[in-house]
């Protein structure tokens, strides 16, 4: 007689279900966004900039509504009037800083230090507001990084920077009347300043790694808590690679300068009266080439490598992220965007924004060991303070994708 219990014990255990891939697609079009961009630009000009937070809310809603994760669009629920309140507060802060600079250099330094002191709190508020007002499948996302960790992430860059600013104010050389003494003081001051700036540059990758850790470790949706494995050594290695690409770009610019100098010498020999004009044109051309190389090569290289480095190390209990953003794809797209934007006198900019968003978003994929439909939304109503969200754009800072 067959032993059913023994047969059941001998049966192989069922294999775990294969991870489900949550595909990311971006469905926005340049022509659609162009209309939003044009209206936003017109209203910003008419209102002398006061429409900026409302324009930003419209832009975010459009890009979120066209970002589909597993076929479901993201949603943005931020109140533009609350963003407007934060915008006015930042205008007041920047106005006070500008006024302090006209009053005295010392007052300007004090105002700058105050802005530096509050920036980590504004950055945290920015992440809280953006994530707290972002939804997917009816689930509100959230950011739970602490205020203390925000300041700790900024400390490696902030402390030497603030020390350098204070030292510059206290130890600035004064004119003694003796030429040799004044020259020696200026040289010592210059060398010390270069050393301080070198220390700040050396600390920048460390601080950037801490920024990314703080940012990704604070992401939450339902019961999922993100964690990032981002070694500081890998960020420093990436910084060295970016430096190498920058040096190559600079050499290319210098090569262009040499070629232009040869052309200038040839033309000026034929037309002596035009020597000054050709020289100015040559330097302008070299500067333009260097500028374009920086934005079309160096920045896309750093952005592509950093996106892959950050998202390939990010996961939660059930989610695993991966990114395959190739530098050559982002480089070719960036170069084309700059060319067409220049040829159209800026009118191609909304098309460029849509194309870049599509490339960067669709390079990311998500594997889920669970069905997101089974997740239960945490009781969360979102943060009401939008000051930090506007601060991110006001100071030109955008550390997220």
- Nearest residue to 220 via CA among 156, 287, 139: 139
pLDDT at 401 over 60: no
Q: Report the C-alpha gap between 323 and 361 in whole angstroms.
A: 9
The residue behind tokens 């209102």 is: 47
Query: Which tens digits make up the pLDDT trace of 35-89?
Result: 999 999 999 999 999 999 999 999 999 999 999 999 999 999 988 888 888 788 7
What pLDDT shows up at residue 157?
A: 85
The pTM assigned to this predicted structure is: 0.80
- CA distances to 50, 154, 162, 285 from 113, in Å: 27, 14, 7, 38
Is 178's pLDDT higher than 90? no
150: which 2 tokens?
A: 């925000």
Query: For residue 24, which phi and psi values (nearest 5 degrees)?
Result: -110, 125
Three-state DSSP class for residue 342: helix
Tokens representing 299 are: 């920045």
CB 274 within 8 A of CB 267: yes
In 3D space, the residue among 318, 310, 172 whose CA is nearest the CA of residue 230 turns out to be 310
Please give the Cα distance from 211 to 216 (Å, whole number). Answer: 9
Q: What are phi and psi of 89, to 5 degrees?
A: -65, -40
């Amino acid at each position: 007689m067959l032993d059913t219990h023994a047969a059941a014990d001998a049966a192989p255990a069922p294999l775990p279900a294969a991870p489900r891939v949550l595909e990311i697609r971006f469905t926005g079009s340049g022509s659609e966004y162009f209309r939003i961009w044009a209206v936003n630009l017109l209203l910003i000009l008419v209102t002398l900039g006061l429409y900026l937070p409302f324009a930003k809310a419209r832009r975010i809603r459009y890009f979120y509504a066209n970002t589909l994760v597993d076929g479901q669009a993201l949603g943005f629920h931020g109140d533009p009037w609350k963003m407007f309140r934060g915008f006015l507060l930042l205008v007041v802060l920047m106005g006070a800083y500008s006024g302090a600079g006209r009053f005295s250099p010392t007052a300007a330094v004090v105002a700058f230090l105050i802005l530096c002191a509050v920036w980590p709190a504004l950055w945290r508020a920015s992440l809280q507001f953006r994530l707290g007002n972002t939804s997917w499948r009816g689930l509100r996302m959230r950011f739970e990084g602490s205020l203390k960790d925000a300041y700790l992430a900024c400390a490696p860059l902030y402390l030497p920077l603030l020390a350098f600013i204070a030292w510059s104010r206290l130890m600035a050389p004064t004119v003694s009347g003796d030429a040799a003494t004044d020259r020696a003081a200026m040289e010592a001051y210059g060398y010390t300043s270069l050393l301080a700036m070198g220390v700040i540059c050396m600390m920048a990758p460390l601080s950037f790694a801490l920024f990314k850790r703080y940012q990704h470790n604070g992401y939450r949706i339902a019961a999922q808590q993100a964690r990032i494995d981002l070694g500081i050594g890998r960020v420093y290695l990436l910084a060295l690679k970016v430096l190498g690409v920058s040096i190559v770009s600079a050499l290319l610019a210098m090569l262009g300068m040499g070629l232009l100098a040869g052309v200038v010498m040839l033309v000026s020999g034929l037309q002596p009266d035009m020597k000054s004009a050709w020289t100015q044109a040559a330097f302008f051309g070299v500067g333009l080439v260097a500028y374009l190389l920086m934005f079309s090569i160096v920045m896309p290289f750093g952005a592509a490598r950093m996106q892959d480095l950050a998202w390939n190390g990010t996961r939660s209990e059930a989610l695993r992220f991966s990114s395959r953003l190739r530098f050559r794809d982002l480089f070719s797209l960036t170069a084309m965007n700059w060319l067409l934007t220049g040829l159209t006198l800026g009118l191609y900019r909304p098309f460029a924004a849509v194309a870049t968003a599509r490339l960067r978003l669709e390079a990311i994929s998500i594997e889920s060991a669970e069905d997101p439909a089974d997740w239960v939304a945490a009781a969360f109503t979102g943060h009401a303070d939008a000051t930090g969200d506007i601060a991110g754009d006001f100071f030109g800072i955008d550390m997220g994708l």
